[in-house]
Amino acid sequence: MNNKSTLFVIISYFFNNLKISIRNHAVRNAVYTAYKGECFYTGRSISFEKMHIDHLIPLNRGGSDSLDNYVLTFRDLNLGKRDKIDERLVQAKAIVEMVFLPRMEKFIRDHYRKKKHKRKKERIKSSLKKASSINRSYSKQRLPKLTLVYHRDLFWANDNKMEVLSSSKKVTSANIEKILPFLENEAESAFQAGADYTFDIWLTSEYIQQISSLWVRAKEKCFKLIDNILPYDDVELGCYGSIYFSSEYLELLNWQEEKFQEL
């Protein structure tokens, strides 16, 4: 897959139904931020209220409603330029794509993530409440054959410990020391943001097999650490993707945070 195809997959995944239109408020903020409030043509400062977004290559000359064709300018310049085009504008598009496009894409991705986290916050709370109301004793569960690969004491609670088990021979007490800290850090970041997933994680088929085999035993429960894994592309070749954590594991993080606050 070439760079343009990879970019399309990532943008499509994060932007979802977000319309790349100059009337979209997020797009307007992205353009204004990317150009630092300065006119692309003159370098003069523009207030957000008086900004205009110009199609660098006019729509009737082959331009498109896309971030790489949007530039910040004044109303008078925008209306005066109309559908004019020359070699300098064509050459300027390369500057937009190289310098300003990445800034706009980052702003919109961050905007979309915040919106998605906000929507999921209530869902996470609901999942935690549901998980905490169900008494799942690991002794009564039908579990796969599991091997203990890691354990540590939860010193803030009396006689409590956490054990990590695996149903795969590809996970050992040696490589779990690399796998677990990364997953714990990503899960903690997701939990603090009100989400149940982490994204842009490099995935291979072996790594997916390793992390999907992990179980956690704590507080008289045994549950999977990972609920779902969503690759963006062909995982056989290696690709980026998202990892969704189980509601039981998020409940454990919530319990740990409460215990820390009691100390």
More confident residue, 138 or 98: 98
Q: Residue 179's pLDDT is what? A: 93
User: pLDDT, tens digit, for every residue of 167-183?
Assistant: 999 999 899 999 999 99
How many domains, in total, are found in the chain? 2
Does residue 134 register a pLDDT over 70?
A: no
In this structure, the strands spanning 226-231 and 197-203 are unpaired
Tell me, yes or no, whether 73 and 151 share the same domain: no
Q: Residue 118's pLDDT is what? A: 61
In this structure, the strands spanning 161-166 and 214-218 are antiparallel
Q: Taking residues 245-257, what's their average pLDDT?
A: 86
Max mean pLDDT range (32-46, 142-156, 219-233): 32-46
- Our measurement of the distance from residue 256's CA atom to the centroid of its chain's CA atoms, rounded to an integer in Å, reads 24
Residue 64 forms part of a structural domain: yes
CB 43 within 8 A of CB 60: no
Does residue 136 register a pLDDT over 50?
A: no
Q: Taking residues 43-66, what's their average pLDDT?
A: 91
Tell me, yes or no, whether 113 and 138 share the same domain: no
Domain carrying residue 33: 3-118
Residue 98 forms part of a structural domain: yes
Query: Residue 120 — very low, low, confident or very high, per pLDDT cuts 50/70/90?
Result: low
Q: Residue 137's pLDDT is what? A: 46
Does residue 216 register a pLDDT over 80?
A: yes
pTM equals: 0.48
Residue 148 forms part of a structural domain: yes
Residue type, position 232, single letter: Y
